[in-house]
């Protein structure tokens, strides 16, 4: 993190933040967190891993600008789908698969009969 001085807010006593310094750290850490979260969602889907994977996919789509790479699909003159956007799309697909697996698991649990043994009235009586 680096604070710069300039004629703007620093002159009035407010430091400004230079975000170009942290980009070499933020980009790999965000991508690593996205990969670990997606792997966790694939291995053991839970609501929290699905939500974290979706949130990290959104964060990755915002911070990947310096490493976007080749444009694969152009939507307009200044908008398009790039190579770096594939990670966000893949993460959303993994989160969707995890959510689907959760719904199937919950459906099976609701439809399954209770595995408890029925308690007989004679067994519950403990008097003389």
The H or E element that residue 100 is part of is helix 85-111
pLDDT at 37: 96
Report the candidate in 105, 99, 84 with the shortest Cα–Cα distance to residue 52. 99
Tell me the pLDDT tens digit for each residue of 4-48.
Answer: 555 555 555 555 545 555 667 888 999 999 999 999 999 999 999
Angle at 61 (CA atoms; ends 56, 66), nearest 5 degrees = 120
Tell me the pLDDT tens digit for each residue of 64-113.
Answer: 888 888 888 888 888 888 888 999 999 999 999 999 999 999 988 888 77
Between residues 128 and 49, which one has the greater pLDDT? 49
For the chain, domain boundaries: 23-110
pLDDT at 20: 55
Contact present, 53 and 34 (Cβ < 8 Å):
yes
Tell me the C-alpha distance between 6 and 16, whole Å.
8
């Amino acid at each position: 993190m680096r604070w710069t001085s300039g004629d703007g807010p620093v002159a009035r006593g407010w430091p400004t933040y230079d975000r170009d310094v942290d980009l070499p750290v933020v980009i790999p850490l965000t991508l690593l967190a996205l990969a670990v979260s997606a792997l966790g969602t694939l291995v053991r889907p839970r609501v929290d891993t699905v939500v974290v994977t979706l949130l990290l996919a959104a964060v990755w789509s915002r911070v990947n600008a310096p490493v976007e790479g080749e444009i694969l699909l152009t939507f307009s003159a200044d908008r398009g789908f790039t190579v770096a956007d594939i990670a966000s799309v893949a993460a959303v697909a993994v989160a969707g698969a995890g959510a689907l697996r959760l719904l199937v698991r919950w459906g099976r649990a609701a439809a399954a009969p209770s595995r408890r043994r029925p308690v007989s009235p004679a067994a519950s009586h403990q008097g003389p």
